[in-house]
A = this chain, B = another copy of it.
Amino acid sequence: MTMSDYDELIHSLRERGHRLTPQRRLVLEALQHGDHHMSADEISQTIIAHYPSISVDPTTIYRTLRWLRDVNLVSETSLGQNHMVYALLGSDDHHHLVCENCNGVIEIDPSILEPVRRELQARYGFAARLAHISIFGLCARCQMGDAVTR
């Protein structure tokens, strides 16, 4: 996202009554810093590492992440662990295949879901938010023989 895109976005959010608070800036900055997905706790740790004197309550981090998801800036994804992971939307577009047996994650081309998105819009008028999602199942190796490892 360019800087002017960002300014424009903030402006349009303000028009709708949203505020850009220091806490929200810190969460956004943490997400930009980490180049992978991050858990709420990793975001918290990143903020502490960069600004040891500032503290952002976990509740605020969770609420900020929900807000960022709702305004379509951030994806919220389960990778089969017992916590969600968050990532800025816009670049490194992909989805995940998550093996329920070995917990392995395969990243896949997002175009595979485009026909589904189009059909949901056409048939049900539904605008699916299919960005950076997970599909659960069994990877090739785990399909043959239940012998588990990893």
Contacts and interface: CB of A to CB of B under 8 A. Distances in A.
A56 interface: no
Given A97-B124, A126-B140, A127-B137, 13 more contacts: A16-B146, A106-B126, A112-B116, A112-B119, A112-B120, A116-B116, A120-B135, A120-B137, A126-B135, A126-B138, A126-B139, A127-B138, A129-B136
Interface of A: 16, 70, 97, 99-100, 106, 108, 112-113, 115-116, 119-120, 123-130, 135-140, 143, 146
Contacts of A99: 126
Q: How many copies of this chain does the complex contain?
A: 2
Nearest to A146: B16
Contacts of A113: 116
